[in-house]
Amino acid sequence: MAFIQDAGFDILSTILGLQDVTLTGTADATPGVYHITALAGLAKTNLASLGALSTSLATGSLWAALNNTTGATITISSVAVGTGANAGTFTVTLTTTAPPYPAGVGDKVSINLVGPTELTTGNVPGYESLGPALITHN
């Protein structure tokens, strides 16, 4: 923007960037099941409460899971919009075969969204993750 003298329009309100998504998570009592909260933008909008957008995000291909110690990819079995006590979250279920699923005491899983291009392809345009939720494995 430092090189634009007169764009002919209000550049700051017309050209919009990606909204940052902050991910946090908790482990369920069931091994391999995690509840991820995704809050977007300055308003901290809960993406799990946005109807069609939350339905689009409830797709395993839009998420990534890693063994935080080894960096190995963990297969995501399913993703669903949380219900009941888990409303407002995405329930991410991982395959618990070790390895790559962590087995050590205190080891963590890393659960993140894929990149903005893949999110746009998956009908979730305009968002990017600020980084993964790190959760001690269950």
Kindly report, residue by residue over 79-138, the tens digit of the pLDDT.
999 999 999 999 999 999 989 999 888 899 999 999 999 999 999 999 999 999 999 998
Taking residues 60-75, report their average pLDDT. Answer: 96
pLDDT, residue 10, reads: 54
pLDDT, residue 7, reads: 58
Judge whether 97 lies within some domain.
yes
Query: CATH no. for residue 73?
Result: 2.60.40.1220
Judge whether 8 lies within some domain.
no
Judge whether 1 lies within some domain.
no
pLDDT, residue 9, reads: 57
- pTM recorded for the entire structure: 0.86
Per the structure, how many domains does the chain have?
1
Domain of 129 in residue numbering reads as 18-136
DSSP the chain: -TT-S--SS-HHHHS--PEEEEEEEEE-SSTTEEEEEEEETTTTEEGGGSTHHHHHHS-GGGEEEEETTT--B--EEEEEE--GGGTTSEEEEE---TTTS--STT-EEEEEE--HHHHHHTT-TTEEESSPEEEE--
Q: Which of the pair, 132 or 17, is modelled with greater confidence?
A: 132
Judge whether 63 lies within some domain.
yes
Grade residue 5 by pLDDT with cuts at 50, 70 and 90: low
Judge whether 114 lies within some domain.
yes
pLDDT, residue 1, reads: 44
CB 80 within 8 A of CB 28: no
